[in-house]
A and B are shown apart, each in its own frame.
Chain A
Amino acid sequence: MIARQAVPLAIAIGAGLLMAVSYFLRPLGWMSESASEIFNVVSAIAFVLGAGSLLKANLSTISRRDRGWGYAAVTLGAFLVTLVVGMGKMGVNPSPSSPQAAWSGDQQTAETPFGWIYEFVLSPLSATMFALLAFFVASAAFRAFRAKNAGAAVLLVTAFVVLLGRTYAGVVLTDWMPGWASGLRLENLSNYLMGVFGSAGNRAILIGIALGVAATSLRILLGLDRSWLSREGGG
């Protein structure tokens, strides 16, 4: 039990402090240079755990015929096909520099099956999910954006200015304004609001977050917060 807690804690404290110091000292620069490699190796090993979990969770869903088990079947099918095609480097031609090595070529072009999956399956599906944001923003705006008090009313007016100022509508609506009042044109007002008020608020929150990150990191580095350690959590 002691080793289960003390060893990871010692690794976290030692590695964390060394990494922090190595950022400032050139002779220790190799530490941060190697850290990314070590993290990548650990992450790659963890991928196996992830794949195991994915297989187990989806196979259980299918075998129990849980609601939505068809989706689990699609997930498993897509996972296995991509894994075989990608790791097997199927359809990849040798690169011109190493013609003797059968699989040395680039598999990220759309001519290879893996590239095809990226170009014609992953890209459109990702873009579609991202595009859903437009619909959800509209739904949230209708439901949640109410001028319930003076503060919310100011927020509402600001939203209108920015929404209109970031499109050609701002130009159409306020381009008639004379030069001396150009600061009140929607596109300029929008930039002013974002650059001054928005930026001031953002800076304040950012400073708070940065200090929060520093304090949390120090809590972990000094061993004050051990809730991330096995059998220590639970708040």
Chain B
Amino acid sequence: MSVLGRLERLDRRWIFLAMFLVVSGPILYMGLTGKLFPEKVTATTQSVFDAVEAVPPGERVLFAFDFDPASAGELQPMATQLLRHCAARKLRVVCIALWPLGNNLAEDTITEVIHADFPQMRDGVDYVNLGFQAGQEQLMTLLTTNFRKGFPVDQRGRDTADLEILEGVRSVTDFPLLIDVGAGFPGSKEWVQYVVTGSGGKLRMVAGTTGVSTPQLIPYYPHQLAGILAGMKGAAEYESLVNAKIGGTPPPRYLEAQRRMGPQLFGHLLLVALIVLGNVIHFTRKARAAA
């Protein structure tokens, strides 16, 4: 069989192997050497950073963890940095989850960031995890009219009416900023449609989302969405901004997004190469058929 014929009938497992190699190589190299690519910050990421900076210290922020372990590889680094940024700005953070497994990720993020680096923050006063509630977009609508009915108790089983951090909160619009890290439904799109749009501009929102979901959120930027962290690149840019603001040498757990840009670079290069190869085969075959 000719080279062209072989390439045309290429077993897709060779492609899988190539992807495995080009991704695992940079993971190992960057993990061992600690080398990172510098990040150029895009406008959508800068807007997220500015939106968090614009909230005065001591104000409350609502943080929705609408993802699960499947997409945590892409979304966890941005969730970590968003919570870290809020904590560094002395904002009071109310965490919620509309995905069942988002609750575990909220707990993990609180442990990783607040318990480790901001031990002075008090549970129920400076931060709280209200846990998971079912109801999806109906719950979102409920939060616009009766926040505490949506979350009657927190993750530890405490009545939310007794929590200092929720004093005076009647509706989701009593938070100046909503941060949503979401991987799908219910997620950022539903928050925009059911909550932000109906708030008449009272509630600002920023979103962190997977690369594949980003195009469907861009139409909402910059009005309904004040900023977007677009996939791993958005996370890496935001990570570099937060690290620069906080200063010092960040521990490896605060460099996760930038480290993952290496595998992403080589993965994208392989995709370009595969598309080119596919087209070379296509046009060669066409030329031979014409001849």
Let me know if chains A and B touch directly in the complex, using CB atoms closer than 8 Å. yes
State which residues 26-41 of B face A: CB under 8 Å.
37-38, 40
Q: If A194-B218, A202-B218 touch, does A122 touch B156 (CB 8 Å cutoff)?
A: no
Query: In the complex the two chains form, what is the Cα distance from A167 to B219 in whole Å?
Result: 22
Taking the complex as formed, is B282 at the interface, i.e. its CB lies under 8 A from any CB of chain A?
yes
Query: By the criterion CB–CB under 8 Å, are B279 and A147 in contact?
Result: yes
- Least CB distance from B226 to A in Å reads 15
Chain B CB within 8 A of A63 CB: no
Q: How far is the CB of B73 from chain A (nearest CB, A)?
A: 6
Task: Please determine whether B23 and A134 come into contact, CB atoms closer than 8 angstroms.
Answer: yes
B68 within 8 A of A: yes
Q: How far is the CA of A148 from the CA of B286 in the complex (A)?
A: 10
A149 CB → nearest B CB, Å: 12
Q: Which residues of chain A are near B274, meaning CB under 8 Å?
A: 138, 141-142
Interface assignment of A61: CB less than 8 Å from any CB of chain B: no
**Contact mask for chain B residues 276-288; partner A; CB cutoff 8 A; 1 contact, 0 none:** 0111001100000
CB distance from B95 to the nearest CB of A (A): 14
B40 touches which of A33, A118, A135, A187 (Cβ 8 Å): A187
Q: Chain B residues with Cβ under 8 A from A95's Cβ?
A: 156-157
B243 at the interface (CB under 8 A from A): no
CB pair A127 B218 closer than 8 Å: no
Residue contact B15 to A138, C-beta cutoff 8 Å: yes
A197-230 to B contact mask, C-beta < 8 Å, 1/0: 0110011001000000000000000000000000
Q: CB-CB < 8 A to A123: which residues of B?
A: 69, 72
Contact call B156/A97, Cβ cutoff below 8 A: yes
Contact call B271/A141, Cβ cutoff below 8 A: yes
Per-position contact with A for B111-152: 1 when CB-CB < 8 Å, else 0?
A: 000000000000000000000001110110110011001000
Q: Is the CB of A127 within 8 A of B43?
A: no
One of A6-14, A73-81, A155-163 at the interface: A155-163
User: Is A1 part of the binding interface, using a Cβ–Cβ cutoff of 8 Å?
Assistant: no
A60, CB-defined interface residue at 8 Å: no
> Is A100 positioned at the interface, with any CB of B under 8 Å from its CB?
no
Q: What residues of chain A lie closer than 8 Å to B18, measured between beta carbons?
A: 138
Select which of B43, B158, B211, B271 is within 8 A of A138 by beta carbon.
B271
Whole-angstrom CA separation of A135 from B18 in the bound complex: 9
**CB-based contact A163/B271 at 8 Å:** yes
Within 8 A of B (CB), among A83-118: 95, 97-98, 104, 106, 108-109, 115, 118
Whether, in the assembled complex, A48 has its beta carbon less than 8 Å from a beta carbon of chain B, the answer is no
Chain B hits for A138, CB < 8 A: 15-16, 18-19, 267, 270-271, 274
A57 at the interface (CB under 8 A from B): no
Q: A60–B122 Cα gap in the complex (Å)?
A: 54
* Alpha-carbon distance between A33 and B18 when the two chains are bound, in angstroms: 52
Instruction: Output the nearest chain B residue to A128 by Cβ-Cβ distance.
Output: B70
Residue contact B275 to A168, C-beta cutoff 8 Å? no
Complex Cα spacing A98 to B156, Å: 11
- A127-B138 contact in complex given A134-B23, A139-B15, C-beta closer than 8 Å: no
B145 touches A26 (CB 8 A): yes
Contact B42 A187 (CB under 8 A): yes
Q: Which residues on B sit within 8 Å (CB–CB) of A106?
A: 155-156
Q: Which residue of B lies closest to A33 (CB)?
A: B142
Closest residue of chain B to A209, judged by CB? B216
Q: Does A29 contact B (CB under 8 A)?
A: yes
Which residue of chain B lies nearest to A156 when distances are taken between CB atoms in the complex?
Answer: B275
**Alpha-carbon distance A115/B177, docked complex (angstroms):** 31
Can you list 28 A-B contacts with CB-CB less than 8 angstroms, sorted by A residue number? Answer: A23-B141, A32-B145, A33-B142, A33-B145, A33-B146, A33-B149, A36-B134, A36-B135, A40-B134, A97-B158, A104-B157, A108-B103, A115-B104, A123-B69, A124-B69, A130-B70, A131-B73, A134-B19, A138-B274, A139-B15, A142-B12, A142-B277, A145-B275, A156-B279, A163-B268, A166-B264, A191-B44, A203-B219
